C-alpha cells in the first residue's frame, strides 16, 4: 500500500518517542510505501481534485538521519491507499480547514483516518459531554458567576481552556479560592471565551492514564502520566512521568463501552484520558504514547494500529 501521513514537519519529530514515526516504521516493516505532507500543502481547484505537494520517504534506521527522500510529487489524494491524519493540536482554524479539504478528498474516493468529519465532531475537551455516566463533576461555561458557584460547591477545582494541549493553561484552585478571579479572567477573557471546570480528582497522584483504543478495541496497557515535583499536571509535555500499566477493570469498561461507538464514526485511533475512575478527555486529533507503552511492556501498539488500518481498507 501507499500510505500518506499528513503531519507536522519531519524536522520536528523526536523519533525516540514519536507515535507517527512508530506508525511509519510499522508500515515500512510490512512493505508499505510511506509518503508525507503537511496540511498547508493540500489544495483544491474548481474542476479538479484535492491534491498535495509531498514526498515519498524511506526510513533508514539511523537515529541521526532517520529518513531519506525518495521522490517529491504533486498528486491527487485519492491516489493513495490510505491517508493518516496526524497533525498535532491545537485544533485551530487551519486544522478545521484541513479537515474540510480532506473530506472533499473523501468524496473523490480517498480513505482518511481519522475521518475528517469525526475529527470536527469530537473536540477533545467537549467530546466527554456525550458520556456523562463516565465523567466527574464538570462545568462548561463563559460565566464567571457559574465558575464561582461550582467552586463553592466542590471546593477544589481544575480550570482549563478548551483549546489547550499538553497541560497548557491548566489551573488548580483549592478551598481558599486563591487567585480564582484572576484565573477566570485569564481563561474566559471577560466572558468572551468558554472554559471547562472540573472537580479536582485526587487520583491524579496515581497518574492521568492514557487509554488507547484502536479499531474500537482497547490496547491492554495504559500509560499513567504521573505529576512530578509538586505539579498538578500529569502531561508528559508538562514534565509528567509515564508509567505503563495494565488496564484496570474500570479503564477497560470505559474503553469497551466507548470504543465501538467511536469506531463506527470513523475514529480508528482514540486516546481516552482517565483519572481514577473518571473519563476526563477524548483525544482524536493525534493520540500518542505508542512508543512509551512498547518500550515498557513489549506490546507493539503500532502493529495493532497497522492491523486495524489494513482491516479497514479491505473491501
Our answer to whether residue 14 is catalytic in this structure is no
- Of the candidates 115, 225, 235, 292, the residue annotated as catalytic is 225
> Catalytic: 176?
no
By C-alpha distance, which of 283, 303, 313 is closest to 123? 283
111 carries an active-site annotation: no
Is 160 among the residues known to form the active site? yes
Long-range contacts of 112-115 (CB under 8 A, 24+ apart): 112/82, 112/83, 112/85, 113/82, 113/83, 113/84, 113/85, 113/266, 113/268, 113/269, 113/309, 113/312, 114/85, 114/266, 114/267, 114/268, 114/269, 114/284, 114/285, 115/265, 115/266, 115/267
Residue 78 is a catalytic residue: no
Catalytic residue among 86, 125, 199, 209: 125
Q: What are phi and psi of 144, to 5 degrees?
A: -65, -35
Give the active site residue among 188, 233, 235, 292: 233
For 24, residues 6+ apart whose C-beta sits below 8 A from its C-beta are: 5, 34, 59
Of 114, 210, 235, 292, catalytic: 210
CA-based nearest residue to 84, from 104, 58, 110: 110
Is 233 an annotated catalytic residue? yes
Residue 117 among the catalytic residues: no
Q: Is 125 among the catalytic positions?
A: yes
Say which of 160, 199, 251, 292 is annotated catalytic: 160
Which residues are the active-site residues?
125, 160, 210, 225, 233, 273, 281, 283
Amino acid at each position: 500500500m501507499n500510505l500518506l501521513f499528513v503531519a507536522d514537519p519531519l524536522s520536528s519529530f523526536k523519533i525516540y518517542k514519536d507515535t507517527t514515526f512508530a506508525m511509519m516504521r510499522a508500515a515500512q516493516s510490512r512493505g508499505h510505501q510511506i509518503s508525507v505532507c503537511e496540511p498547508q500543502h493540500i489544495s483544491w481547484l474548481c474542476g479538479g481534485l484535492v491534491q498535495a505537494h509531498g514526498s515519498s520517504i524511506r526510513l533508514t534506521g539511523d537515529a541521526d538521519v532517520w529518513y531519506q527522500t525518495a521522490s517529491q510529487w504533486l498528486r491527487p489524494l485519492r491516489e493513495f491507499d490510505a491517508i493518516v491524519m496526524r497533525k498535532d493540536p491545537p485544533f485551530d482554524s487551519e486544522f478545521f480547514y484541513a479537515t474540510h479539504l480532506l473530506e472533499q478528498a473523501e468524496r473523490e474516493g480517498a480513505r482518511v483516518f481519522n475521518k475528517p468529519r469525526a475529527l470536527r465532531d469530537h473536540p477533545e475537551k467537549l467530546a466527554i459531554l456525550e458520556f456523562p455516566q463516565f465523567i466527574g463533576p464538570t462545568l462548561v461555561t463563559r460565566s464567571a458567576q457559574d465558575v464561582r458557584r461550582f467552586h463553592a460547591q466542590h471546593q477544589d477545582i481544575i480550570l482549563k481552556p478548551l483549546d489547550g494541549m499538553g497541560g497548557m493553561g491548566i489551573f488548580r484552585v483549592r478551598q481558599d479560592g486563591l487567585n480564582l478571579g484572576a484565573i477566570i479572567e485569564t481563561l474566559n477573557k471577560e466572558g468572551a471565551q468558554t472554559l471547562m471546570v472540573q472537580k479536582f480528582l485526587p487520583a491524579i497522584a496515581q497518574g492521568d492514564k492514557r487509554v488507547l483504543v484502536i479499531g474500537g478495541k482497547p490496547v491492554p496497557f495504559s500509560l499513567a502520566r504521573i505529576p512530578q515535583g509538586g505539579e498538578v499536571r500529569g502531561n508528559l509535555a508538562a514534565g509528567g512521568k509515564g508509567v505503563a500499566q495494565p488496564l484496570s477493570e474500570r479503564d477497560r469498561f470505559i474503553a469497551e463501552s466507548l470504543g465501538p461507538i467511536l469506531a463506527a464514526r470513523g475514529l480508528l485511533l482514540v486516546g481516552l484520558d482517565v483519572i481514577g475512575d473518571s473519563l476526563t478527555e477524548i483525544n482524536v486529533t493525534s493520540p500518542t504514547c505508542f512508543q512509551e507503552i512498547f518500550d515498557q511492556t513489549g506490546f507493539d501498539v503500532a502493529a495493532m494500529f497497522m492491523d486495524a488500518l489494513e482491516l479497514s481498507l479491505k473491501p
